[in-house]
Amino acid sequence: MDIVKELLAGSRLALSRAITSVENEYENAIQIMRDLYPHTGNAYVIGITGPPGAGKSTLTDKLAREYRRRGKTVGIIAIDPTSPFSGGAILGDRIRMNELTMDEGVFIRSMGTRGSLGGLSHKTGEVVKIMDAAGKDIVIVETVGVGQSEVDIAKAADTTLVVLVPGLGDDIQAIKAGILEIGDIFAINKADREGVDRLQVELEMMLDLNQYKVDWRPPINRVIASQNQGVSELLETIEKHSVWSKQTGEREVRHSKRIKNEMLSMLDEQIGRYIIKKMAESGEFDRLIKTVEQREQDPYTVVDGILKSILR
């Protein structure tokens, strides 16, 4: 039986294999995605992001449990901020989820950043679709909200949750400004810590300044994930955003945008590959690089020439 049929029939092994295939760009990856595509579009996608140390993993863990308690199946995609070179994954956080991994209604997958030149965002979208097709009601994508692609990933969700903690110093302030605008909901985690009121005031002030969201003022929820405090309320807030999003048409707008971005990134990636292959075959690229290195030609003129030779 083929992998997609097995996956649709509920096989966890097939689900795992499909993801591996896409992640490693195996030959059958595109066929898998083609076959899966008609079965996607049912999962609700939640992006969770925030600075290192905000406790995103723990909160993801607790949210997933809460969804399970309410009878929903959950897929979790954890983007590991690990080596883009070694492909190594830090498993510490994931081990905390052990209890969850024993639950048939939960599927957890860590993804590294290896081999990606902006490609991670695209691949994450594919893994979301795979979990969606496999029947997960909720798909949570967890990223460290610091780089551009991490931000891209988090905002490609139906609801984006930004997790912050009190007392993380100045550089973190800068990061906060960057992820402020993608937050549909803010969670202040470790809310028993000193500085929680100040952080809330700062956040409210920032939200006051950013009037780009006129219909939905991002709520700020206080939680203590490690003690499971405020998690159920946070889930309710996500529900509220979901309802608002559907009623106002926001969900559809985001969906269109997501499809558009995915297609553009696919085009980008495939054209990139086409160029590299074509140039490698002829040895032409290496010859051209030499001329640029020796300053016989500037790279801009050379790139122009290549474009003219490959585009209609």
Least Cα distance to 14 among 122, 131, 125 occurs for 131
Q: Is 1 or 209 the residue whose CB approaches its own copies more closely? A: 209
Residue of 276, 277, 280, 284 that binds its own copies (CB under 8 A): 276
DSSP per-residue string spanning 209-241: H-TT-SS----EEE-BGGGTBTHHHHHHHHHHH
Among the residue ranges 10-18, 58-66, 179-187, 192-200, the one whose residues contact its own copies (CB under 8 A):
179-187
Q: Is 127 exposed, middle or buried (0-12, 13-18, 19+ CB in 10 A)?
A: buried
Smallest distance from the beta carbon of 104 to its own copies, in angstroms? 28
Count of residues touching its own copies (by CB under 8 A): 79
DSSP per-residue string spanning 113-181: -TT-SSHHHHHHHHHHHHHHHTT-SEEEEEEETTSHHHHHHHHTSSEEEEEE-S--HHHHHHHHHHHHT
Residue of 9, 13, 95, 174 that binds its own copies (CB under 8 A): 174
Q: Is 152 or 158 the residue whose CB approaches its own copies more closely? A: 152
Give the C-alpha distances (Å, rounded to integers) separating 309 from 191, 275, 304.
59, 10, 9
What does the alpha-carbon distance between residue 221 and residue 233 come to, in Å, rounded to a whole number?
A: 8
Q: List the interface residues with its own copies, window 110-139 (CB under 8 A).
A: 113, 116-118, 120
Say if residues 149 and 38 touch (Cβ distance below 8 Å).
no
What does the alpha-carbon distance between residue 309 and residue 47 come to, in Å, rounded to a whole number?
A: 41
**Residue the block writes with tokens 């969670």:** 187
Residue of 12, 25, 98, 272 that binds its own copies (CB under 8 A): 272
Q: How many beta carbons lie within 10 A of that of residue 248, not counting itself?
A: 12
| Site track 141-170 with its own copies (rule: CB under 8 A), x = hit | ---x-xxxxxxx----------------xx
Q: Is 39 or 240 the residue whose CB approaches its own copies more closely? A: 39
Among the residue ranges 61-69, 101-109, 175-183, 214-222, the one whose residues contact its own copies (CB under 8 A):
175-183
Q: List the interface residues with its own copies, window 280-309 (CB under 8 A).
A: 285, 288-289, 292-293, 295, 298-303, 306-307, 309
Q: List the interface residues with its own copies, window 21-80 (CB under 8 A).
A: 30, 33-34, 37-38, 41, 51-53, 80
Residue of 105, 166, 178, 195 that binds its own copies (CB under 8 A): 178
Least Cα distance to 144 among 54, 246, 65 occurs for 54
172 touches its own copies by CB under 8 A = yes
Q: Is 81 or 219 the residue whose CB approaches its own copies more closely? A: 81
User: What stretches of 9-117 show up as alpha helix (H) in DSSP?
Assistant: 12-23, 29-36, 56-69, 92-95, 98-101
207 touches its own copies by CB under 8 A = no
Smallest distance from the beta carbon of 48 to its own copies, in angstroms? 14
Q: Which amino acid is at 216?
A: W
Smallest distance from the beta carbon of 254 to its own copies, in angstroms? 12
Least Cα distance to 234 among 250, 215, 213, 218 occurs for 218
Q: Is 42 or 247 the residue whose CB approaches its own copies more closely? A: 42
| Site track 212-251 with its own copies (rule: CB under 8 A), x = hit | ----------------------------------------
Length of the chain: 312
